[in-house]
A and B are shown apart, each in its own frame.
Chain A
Amino acid sequence: MKVKGSQVVTEVLLDHGVDIIFGYPGGTAINIYDELYRYKDRIKHVLTADEAGASHAADGYARATGKTGVVFATSGPGATNLVTGLATAFMDSVPMVAITINVQDYLIGSDAFQEICITGVTLPITKHNYFVNDVNDLEGVLREAFLIANSGRKGPVLVDITKDVTEAFVEYSSKSPYPLRKNPEPKADDVETIVKLINHAERPVVYIGQGAVSSEAAAEVRELIEKADIPAVHTLMAAGVIRFDDPHNLGMIGMHGTVAANRAVDKADLVIALGGRFSDRVALNPKKWAQKAKIVQVDIDRSEINKNVKVDCAARCDIKDFLIAALPLVEEKKRTEWNKTVSEWKAKEFVSNVKDAKLHPHEIIKVICDNTDDETIFVTDVGQHQMWAAQFIEHKKPRKFITSGGLGTMGFGYGAAIGAQMAFPENRVIHITGDGSFHMNMNEACTAVTQELPIITVIMDNRTLGMVYQWQTLLYDRRYSNTKADRATDFVKVAEGFGAKGFKAETPEELETAFKEALKEKGPSWIVCSIEREERVLPMIPGGKTVDEIIVD
């Protein structure tokens, strides 16, 4: 069957089971959008406020489902608006395919209207990218894009197609997707060596990273922890792999991790890294991190092994494959003494540094958790609220806490929440943000209203860029350069202006009432929670320091 290039795009999407895409039309993309008009019964296109929102939505969709997120943009500014979204997905290894349409091939290189070399721009922030100016290459490239995005360590792939290709004709027939590249098998020697270390360890700690989420290995990780009675710590990205109330769970590790998690790694004689990359927010001082321990690392990406921290033994394979091979060999035993020691380091109760505040961040999270179920998806922006959310949410399952880790993208949250809600219309999606981040992406309220998405946005409003403010307080002698935003935004009015519902809360009781009201809404609602500017994210280990220098109050 001879079809147009634009139809090759829609057909390949269908072949890959893609039924939701996010994007924004434009002059060069018009042929593709004409095709989407014909395919509207089979492919739902979500129009966002801008392409940045679309890219975060595709990302949020991918994180929530484990499937590939797809985003469309036109040439020039449409394409450059994807940059932050692609970089966010790249840093957090999220499978995404971005399709941009460039000017006609005969105009390429002439500084034509809305022409930009987006493959050049996105070279360092995509797993791979393609420029297609021959319709005969289009199908193969698109199929490869899905293959690359999902093989091994996942990531975003961009395909830039010239407009003339979208209107040229080519032979096409439907096929199933290319099989993904086979992951390397866990080597028996590596498994044996690592299991031996585990079996002999007296003070082991499991360090869980996002690789455990990507490989869908939560059940196996939990089994390892149970069977060998090993305390576990997790990164920001791996929240939910083990339940918040699992007695082995010491919580998040790193800069704003718990004392127990950081200390356990410091005192351990073996650290078992499962899909974590020892980032500078985890191993704040890589030379002094887990010094008493042997470190073993399991990772799908060879280049992560020995990158930040030198390890004693490594297995380059998928986390789940590794655990399936290792678990039968792991000795079932009790490590009562060690577990008792680490659990004594757990904080009994959280105490805020602002004692007399009417509404504390941890109380906000508590109200949210008390009024939502196990299937709720929490999405955050970046900053203090993100850390409070990570610390206080009662994480129960993987893929239920969606946050920008590696890139730390303020303005990620609302788009990502839209993506997650589109993926799971039946689940509750809670978007937790701060006034700083929300000013970067609140325009996506228009999308949530149009699509009737009942996303509840909880804004922790301290009228401050709180995270930087906190650093200025603790490390820069209170020189508050450009962090006291003091904006006059009335979020309730803005919400109403967008056609959403707005609530205000100044106490936990008011929040509970507002939240219950918001739960009844069919469309999006915002709840503005006033908090104190002086609230800090604690504990905190400043960059480059160790658990010995942890700030707790």
Chain B
Amino acid sequence: MYKVLKKKIVSVLVLNQANVLTRVVSLFGRRGFNIDSLTVSATNDPTLSRITIVFSATERSMQQIITQTAKLEVVKSIFLLDRENSLYRELLLLKVNATSEQRRPIKEIVDIYRGKIIDLSKDSMIIELTGTPEKLDGFMEVMKEHDIAEVCRTGITAIESNAVADMDDDM
């Protein structure tokens, strides 16, 4: 039977110690989840770190991995982030081959997306862009017609918000 898989984002607050990432990630691995993206970052509390994990799962298996993760001794809390109550951001670095004639149309796209050109050489440029994953996807789509040499994305980091609307005015 076809199972509906949905992209899920969980935020895991963990002890800031050696091997903690291994414990969390290996649990996902051995319970059969493929991680789409993962970020680990400091929090305002130096004893804690935050891991943000994006993965695909059915509703029931998602509950299962959340309760299993919550059992790890190093996990302080875990919660599912949903579109309504959370803000997501991702950073993209993109190197594109461009001759001097091609620079202008690329710069136009970058400006519309409110990105930055952070490096320029004779035949290539590097663009920096932050925003929601969807915005980054959109940018990549538009950039397809150019000669992209390399792409790096950081993966999502996310935070719960009390505000109703995403105040991201980029796009």
* Residues of A participating in the B interface, judged by any CB pair closer than 8 Å: 119-120, 123-124, 127-128, 131, 148, 301-303, 305-307, 310
Name which residue of chain A comes closest to B64, CB basis. Answer: A307
Nearest CB in chain A: distance from B12 CB, A: 15
Q: Report how far A71 CA is from B35 CA in the complex, Å.
A: 36
**Known A-B contacts A306-B60, A306-B63; A123 and B71 likewise in contact (beta carbons under 8 Å):** no
The answer to whether B22 touches A123, judged by C-beta atoms less than 8 angstroms apart, is yes
**Distance, CA A306 to CA B19, complexed state (A):** 30
Cross-chain contact A303 with B26 (CB below 8 angstroms):
no
Instruction: Given A302-B67, A303-B68, answer yes or no on A124-B30 (Cβ-Cβ < 8 Å).
Output: yes
Interface residues, chain B, with chain A CB atoms under 8 Å away: 19, 22-23, 26-27, 30, 60, 63-64, 67-68, 70-73
Extra pairs beyond A305-B67, A306-B64 (19, CB < 8 Å): A119-B19, A123-B23, A123-B26, A124-B26, A124-B27, A124-B30, A127-B73, A128-B72, A128-B73, A131-B19, A302-B67, A302-B70, A303-B64, A303-B67, A303-B68, A303-B70, A306-B60, A307-B64, A310-B60
Distance A303 CA – B71 CA, assembled complex (angstroms): 8
**Across the interface, which residues of B come within 8 angstroms of A124, CB to CB?**
26-27, 30
**A148 neighbours in B (Cβ, 8 Å):** 73
Contacts of B30 in A (CB 8 A): 124
Q: List 26 A-B contacts (CB under 8 A).
A: A119-B19, A120-B22, A123-B22, A123-B23, A123-B26, A124-B26, A124-B30, A127-B73, A128-B72, A128-B73, A131-B19, A148-B73, A301-B71, A302-B67, A302-B70, A302-B71, A303-B64, A303-B67, A303-B68, A303-B70, A305-B67, A306-B60, A306-B63, A306-B64, A307-B64, A310-B60
What is the distance, in angstroms, from B10's C-beta to the closest C-beta of chain A? 14
Top 6 nearest A-B pairs (CB, nearest first) are A303-B67, A128-B73, A302-B67, A303-B68, A124-B30, A307-B64
The CA of A131 and the CA of B146, in the complex, are separated in Å by 51
Give, as a whole number of angstroms, the nearest-CB distance from A357 to chain B. 44
Rounded to whole angstroms, the CA-CA distance of A353 and B60 in the bound complex is 43
A302 and B23 alpha carbons, distance in the complex (Å):
19
CB nearest to A303 among chain B residues = B67
List B contacts of A120 (CB < 8 A).
22
Task: Look across to chain A and name the residue whose beta carbon is closest to the beta carbon of B71.
Answer: A303
Contacts of A306 in B (CB 8 A): 60, 63-64
CA–CA, A310 and B30, complex, Å = 22
Q: Which residue of A lies closest to B1 (CB)?
A: A287
Bound together, the chains give a CA A131 to CA B72 distance in angstroms of: 16
B63 contact set on A, CB distance < 8 A: 306
Chain B residues near A302 (CB, 8 Å)?
67, 70-71
* Residue in B27, B30, B68, B71 with the greatest tally of chain A CB atoms within 10 Å: B71
Cβ-closest chain A residue relative to B23: A123
Alpha-carbon separation in the docked complex, A307 to B65 (Å): 10
A303 to B67, CA, bound (A): 5
Docked pose: A124 CA to B70 CA in angstroms: 15
> In the complex, what residues of A have CB within 8 A of residue B71's CB?
301-303
Tell me which residues across on chain A come within 8 A of B26, comparing CB atoms: 123-124
CA distance A120 to B26 in the complex (A): 10
| Residues of A with C-beta under 8 A to B68 | 303
**Minimum C-beta distance from B19 to chain A (A):** 7
Q: In the complex, what's the smallest C-beta–C-beta distance from A161 to chain B, in angstroms?
A: 16
A307 to B19, alpha carbons, bound, how many Å? Answer: 27
Give the distance to chain B from A87, nearest Cβ to Cβ, in Å: 13
Give A128 to B22 CA distance when docked, in angstroms. Answer: 13
Closest Cβ–Cβ distance, residue A315 to chain B (whole Å):
15
- Within the complex, the shortest CB–CB distance from A478 to chain B, in Å, comes to 34
How far does the alpha carbon of A120 sit from the alpha carbon of B25 in the complex, in Å? 13
**Smallest CB–CB gap between B8 and chain A, Å?**
16
CB-CB nearest in chain B for A305: B67
Q: Note all chain B residues with C-beta closer than 8 A to A305.
A: 67
Q: Which residues of chain B come closer than 8 Å to A301, judged between CB atoms?
A: 71
Q: Which residue of B lies closest to A157 (CB)?
A: B73
- Chain B residue nearest to A310 (CB atoms) is B60
A301 and B64 alpha carbons, distance in the complex (Å): 11
Q: Which residues of A contact B22 (CB under 8 A)?
A: 120, 123
**What separation, in Å, do the CA atoms of A120 and B23 have in the docked complex?**
9
Q: How far is the CB of B152 from chain A (nearest CB, A)?
A: 29
Expressed in whole angstroms, the Cα–Cα distance for A305 and B71 within the complex equals 13
Instruction: Count chain A CB atoms within 10 A of each CB in B27, B60, B64 and give the residue with the most.
Output: B64
B-side contacts of A123, CB under 8 Å: 22-23, 26
List, in ascending order, chain A residues with CB within 8 A of B64's CB: 303, 306-307
With both beta carbons as reference points, the residue of chain A lying nearest to B74 in the complex is identified as A128
Q: Give the distance in Å from the alpha carbon of A302 to the alpha carbon of B67 in the complex.
A: 6
A131 to B23 Cα, complex, angstroms: 14
Q: Name the CB-closest residue of B to A127.
A: B73
Question: Please, how many angstroms separate the alpha-carbon atoms of A310 and B59 in the complex?
Answer: 12
The CB with the most chain B CB atoms within 10 A, among A123, A127, A148, A301, is that of: A123
Q: Could you tell me the distance between the alpha carbons of A305 and B68 in the complex, rounded to whole angstroms?
A: 11
CA distance A120 to B21 in the complex (A): 12
Chain A residue, CB-CB nearest to B68: A303
CB-nearest residue of chain A to B66:
A303
A148 to B71, CA, bound (A): 11
* Distance of A493 Cα from B130 Cα, bound (Å): 77
